[in-house]
Amino acid sequence: MKRDKRIYLIILLALYAAAPVTAATHWIRPAKDGVYGDNDGSSYDNARQPQSVHLLSLSPGDTVYFSGVCIYYEEPAGQSYTDIDIQSSGSAGSPITFRGDASSVNPSYPDGEVHGNYILTGSRVSWTDNGDNTWKTAIQADFDGFSGYFVFENMGGGWRKMAKVASSAACVATPGSYYSSDYKSGSDIYFHCSDDGDPDGRVSLPVDGHTWDFNYNDHIRIIDLDFYNVHFNGTIDLHDITITGSSVNDRMKVYYSPAGNNSLAFRDDSYNIILSYIDRGYGGAGFYIEDNSGDGYGNAPRDIWIHHCYVHDIGLYQQNSDAEGIGVNGGDNLTIEHNEFYNCGSAYTCYPYDGQTNRNHIIRYNYIHDGHHHGGARSSGIQFQTAEPETGARTGCEVYGNIIKNMEADDAPDWSDNSGCSISWHTTQVVFYNNTIDNCDTSFAIAHTAGGSGDPGSNVILKNNISTNPNSYHIAVYDNDIDEGDFTINSNYNCFDPDGAALFKIQYEGGSATYNFSGWQALSLTNCTFDTNSMQDDPELVDIARGKFAPATAGSPVINAGVDTGIGSDFRGNPIGRTIGAINYTKYGLF
């Protein structure tokens, strides 16, 4: 019954595996130690430097290995070239591949990582020892206007983030910290290294380091190459791009990159994109998909598969209200599955504006937990937001088999804040099957937020879901200014726990009221079903507090108590049958 948008992507991977035998291998190593042998990239001993990737003559099927920490060192003013700039496309079945797993070729070769920072050292940096374990230098014009975040130190064990503090006195008192009054050109910036030592050559700022420029080239693979605070450019009109780690136990790191168009973003007319086994952390946003031109139907990004990624700690250092694990402003045929989202403002939020499409988004089998409100973020799990309705522009969206817990409450939440799932679409149907939602302000928030009386309202199907321990509501409907008959809520075969005097809400043109479970079931409105065959009962799940969501025994009331929704399997890949919730009972029963 369910559409599977991955078939073409699996075929694409199979084609990629068949690179021609004549393909060449090239090597990239850090610039710190100068040139390597012939410096032509032909071998590890003759490697090129990172910023000279654009000089490589690459052909379809070629592989480029990065080895070591590729971070940019201070150069004389006006003589730096920092972009890692891809100049060639691969071809169908013969992509150009960039790899960071150099140790797989020779265990003595260090694996590769690319940094977007710039090390403070050399003739243009003048240090002053303040005599209290802090050093200072003037911020150069190159660095003027950087955010003050993503400053790193290297004490010999690899680069680690330093702590931003609020005063020079705090910097003195805090090893591993830095401070500036305004982070502007000419102002002093203070450093206190973790070992109380001299920072020269051991601290870096997030400006003028390496960027990664796809340069609008296609048929590219990036495998096991870690990125730290790297800006990604040239992401319009890309196709057949795969970025992947090896497995859930060996994910490729993409840390600290900013929000917006320089994050790992795919925009106008990009398609056949695979993002898998990626550890995406500490950025202003996670992954970003955008129809930048807004003319929708012809060139929206499309056919995108995001799976087995760990997206976490988003919007903490670069705070913003759109601290989304996956943010979408227009895009079609998007499958998001088997990912974990932790400490994000929301896991998935789409907001298609006029002229942008949002069709066939399948969001399934994800673990979403512990959202936050930093910088005005919404702390919600899965959000479908929209402007005015556009016929046919937002269809085929399905949400099933997800586990969502602990969407953090704030003092004055908007209707959709702190929700497990929320939707403010009009007429276009979205289905929610077999999700388990625990300890959110509202498990399912449904709204019509624009227009007035006579406009089409919500159209939502909720079946086989579990809602436990909401702070406010199991289900809340906010179809303000909408008449009865102009919205559709089809909710049935769900399990709610606990009951309470006001854990269900509906607000529309005919009035506003809250209900307990039996009062909710007794409602009778045109085009609506209010859980006639649902239950209010303890689903007897295994240790929810520790993130285990299986029915504890075969006697759980949710076993075989639902309806066949056609989704086939549960969160773990076992047959789901008619069990309510994200996980069926098995004797192995733990998450």
Query: How many other CB atoms are found less than 10 A from the CB of residue 508?
Result: 20
State the Cα angle at 346 between 497 and 379, rounded to 5°. 60
What gap in Å lies between CA 236 and CA 291, rounded to an integer?
A: 9
Q: Which residues contact 94 (CB under 8 A, 6 or more apart)?
A: 18, 19, 20, 23, 60, 61, 219
Q: Which helix (H) or strand (E) holds 168?
A: helix 168-173
Per-residue tokens: 570: 């549960």
Of 340, 463, 436, 449, the closest CA to residue 384 belongs to: 449
Per-residue tokens: 193: 């290294």
What gap in Å lies between CA 161 and CA 178, rounded to an integer?
A: 10
Can the peptide bond before residue 498 be classed as cis, meaning omega within 30 degrees of 0?
Answer: yes
Residue pair 105/244 in contact (Cβ under 8 Å)? The answer is no
Q: How far is CA 518 from the centre of its chain?
A: 39
DSSP 201-226: TTEEESSSS-EEE-TT--SEEEES-E
Per-residue tokens: 195: 């070992």
CA 389 vs CA 83, 245, 357, 382: distances in Å: 42, 39, 11, 19
Per-residue tokens: 242: 């795969």
pLDDT tens, the chain, 591 aa long: 444 555 445 545 554 554 444 799 999 998 766 678 899 999 999 999 998 898 899 999 999 999 999 998 765 444 456 789 999 999 999 999 999 999 999 999 999 999 988 888 888 789 999 999 999 999 876 665 566 678 999 988 889 999 999 999 999 999 999 999 988 888 999 999 999 999 999 999 887 788 899 999 999 999 999 999 998 988 889 999 999 999 999 999 999 877 666 788 999 999 999 999 999 999 888 999 999 876 655 688 999 999 999 999 999 888 888 899 999 999 999 999 999 999 999 999 998 887 888 999 999 999 999 999 888 888 899 999 875 556 678 889 999 999 999 987 665 556 567 899 998 877 678 999 999 999 999 999 998 765 555 567 788 999 999 999 999 999 999 877 777 888 889 999 999 999 999 999 998 887 789 999 999 999 999 999 999 999 999 999 987 777 778 898 888 999 999 999 999 999 989 999 999 999 998 654 433
Strands (E), 358-472: 361-364, 367-371, 380-384, 397-400, 403-407, 419-423, 430-433, 436-438, 442-447, 459-463, 466-468
If you ran DSSP here, which 8-state letter would residue 388 be given? S
Residue 591's pLDDT is what? Answer: 35
Nearest 5°: phi and psi at 103? -65, -20
What torsion do the CA atoms of 300, 302, 307, 311 make, to the nearest 10 degrees?
Answer: -10
Residue pair 252/223 in contact (Cβ under 8 Å)? The answer is yes
The residue whose two tokens read 């050559």 is 201
Residue pair 231/262 in contact (Cβ under 8 Å)? The answer is yes
What gap in Å lies between CA 431 and CA 463, rounded to an integer?
A: 8
